[in-house]
Chains A and B, each alone.
Chain A
């Protein structure tokens, strides 16, 4: 669904490449996490999938990015938006600025595409329900909290029904409950076969959702594997990526002979409970 072939990119104002050269392919329906230190090229990669690079940003792009078999660089953005949607870090940047209610904001992209009114209403109501933001439908997008705005920004991408959704740290401004809501919405997208590229710092929730994780460092792809393999890799701390507290606790416990040698290190809670619970008589709360 997404192919990067020897892709390098430099922003217009910098000499150094922000990304590349990188080559990889993401099959349709895969949820692919992207992690790495600040400045490692995560946002650049996300922008390149969504066509913001080179259409909006300019700069020097070499190699080829294809989405659904179409070269992104030569496909007009107007044709790309129904193929791939982008959700950025700051929801404020995603608002049209022209609409007075959340419902109108969600309609903005569809109006520009000339989608039939009945269809438009159906999609908007569906997205309001999926994201559980029906109660915000008639409020001004600008009177919402940052977290609520991000849900609207995600909604405005989802109404376009793209086959690929790219999200660049979509939960960074959200409280844990709102972030859980977003991950729930992404899980629903995954079950609908939508391909997802997700730049995310919440390692635990990313590991629960993703099929695969790419790790970038200084613009290069340095790790590519299952969430379990990537998030227990010993190189991780040097790459500026956090591991979960379950992994850290097991690693610390292993040093003291308190983690079963036969078990791999855990990334998620259930694996940690199995490992730490093994051979342990459980204390009971009085």
Chain B
């Protein structure tokens, strides 16, 4: 069963006055890598929290596969959509990293051997194997964020949503995140990430959705979205290409160097 996400005319209001999302429609197909960008307060997190039913629409509907999120409890949707919060402290409760990462797969009722395999793989990909017995609250915020990511990876959901995964991460963790995203994608999983890091965005995602004032204002490939003037701070490589007067839109370091080689003959 494919877990495409369909957002149909979604409006979300809180306090009955503030419209956080205004008639948003979006389809994310199984296996896509989508970055959601936009200013603070634009509605990115509120939109993403609809994908696993944490937040229910005021009007319109959100479907995950054939499940209408308004009609199913989070417990059911959690098996489809793993969600990593922006603040890991909202998510971590167990006394060791290992127990924390075990929580999800155990809750989903996976056989113990399978769960153990998933936990090991999640710890390894997040670089936490050596910290498996540590107390999550003795770790740095950046490390706790990796624990939260490992916890969701271990649930082996068809869709993984990451809310600002790069915040505060060092270059080793950024490389690990890039590998995790590539690996999820290879295994056909959908990856949706909210990010403020435009360089990370162009390097790891095929599609960029720009949210502003509760609406989707751009939706396309990184090259398409960053060709316009709606983005506050363009990726470094895009700026470099523009400054050099290149008509070809390059977004990544490799793409830049390849194009440079072509222009130099």
Same complex for A and B? Answer yes
A residues at B contact (CB < 8 Å):
13-14, 36-39, 43, 89-90, 144-148, 169, 172-180, 201, 204, 237, 240-242, 244-246, 248-249, 252-253, 256, 258, 269, 272-273, 276-277, 280, 282-286
Contact B257 A249 (CB under 8 A): yes
Contact B168 A39 (CB under 8 A): no
5 contacts between A and B (CB under 8 A): A14-B138, A38-B140, A173-B40, A175-B196, A282-B244
Cβ-neighbour of A148 out of B41, B199, B256, B257 (below 8 A): B41
Q: How far is the CA of A38 from the CA of B147 in the complex (A)?
A: 14
Residues of B within 8 A of A258 (CB): 257, 260-261, 264
Asked whether any CB of chain A lies closer than 8 Å to the CB of B237, the reply is yes
Contact A145 B171 (CB under 8 A): no
Digit string of B157-170 for contact with A (CB within 8 Å is 1, else 0)?
00000001001111
- The 10 A-B pairs of least Cβ separation, nearest first, read A147-B40, A176-B233, A145-B41, A177-B232, A245-B236, A240-B170, A145-B40, A242-B171, A37-B170, A38-B142
Residues of A within 8 A of B235 (CB): 245
Asked whether any CB of chain A lies closer than 8 Å to the CB of B31, the reply is no
Contact A38 B173 (CB under 8 A): yes
Contact A36 B170 (CB under 8 A): yes
Asked whether any CB of chain A lies closer than 8 Å to the CB of B152, the reply is no
Residues of B within 8 A of A244 (CB): 236
Q: How far is the CA of A276 from the CA of B140 in the complex (A)?
A: 39
How many A-B pairs fall under 8 Å by CB? 129
Q: How far is the CA of A10 from the CA of B237 in the complex (A)?
A: 41
Residues of B within 8 A of A285 (CB): 245, 247
Asked whether any CB of chain A lies closer than 8 Å to the CB of B254, the reply is yes
Q: How far is the CA of A201 from the CA of B263 in the complex (A)?
A: 33
Residues of A within 8 A of B199 (CB): 245
Q: How far is the CA of A277 from the CA of B260 in the complex (A)?
A: 10
Contact B141 A89 (CB under 8 A): yes
Contact B240 A252 (CB under 8 A): no
Q: How far is the CA of A194 from the CA of B138 in the complex (A)?
A: 34
By CB atoms of chain B within 10 A, which of A172, A237, A245, A286 has the most? A245
Contact A253 B257 (CB under 8 A): yes
Q: How far is the CA of A276 from the CA of B263 in the complex (A)?
A: 11
Contact B233 A249 (CB under 8 A): no
Minimum CB–CB distance for A273 against chain B, Å: 5
Cβ-neighbour of A175 out of B138, B232, B260 (below 8 A): B232
Cβ-neighbour of A201 out of B86, B169, B240 (below 8 A): B169
Digit string of B230-262 for contact with A (CB within 8 Å is 1, else 0)?
011101110110011111100001101100110
Nearest A residue (CB) for B256: A249
Contact A175 B40 (CB under 8 A): yes
Residues of B within 8 A of A175 (CB): 38-40, 196, 232
Cβ-neighbour of A252 out of B198, B243, B257 (below 8 A): B257
Residues of B within 8 A of A280 (CB): 244, 263-264
Q: How far is the CA of A43 from the CA of B139 in the complex (A)?
A: 13
Digit string of B122-143 for contact with A (CB within 8 Å is 1, else 0)?
0000000000000000101111
Digit string of B212-245 for contact with A (CB within 8 Å is 1, else 0)?
0000000000000000000111011101100111
Minimum CB–CB distance for B199 against chain A, Å: 6
Minimum CB–CB distance for A210 against chain B, Å: 18
Contact B41 A38 (CB under 8 A): no
Contact B254 A252 (CB under 8 A): yes
Cβ-neighbour of A174 out of B86, B172, B196, B257 (below 8 A): B196
Q: How far is the CA of A14 from the CA of B135 in the complex (A)?
A: 13
Q: How far is the CA of A37 from the CA of B14 in the complex (A)?
A: 39
Nearest B residue (CB) for A253: B257
Residues of B within 8 A of A172 (CB): 167-168
Contact A89 B168 (CB under 8 A): yes
Q: How far is the CA of A178 from the CA of B168 in the complex (A)?
A: 16
Contact B232 A237 (CB under 8 A): no
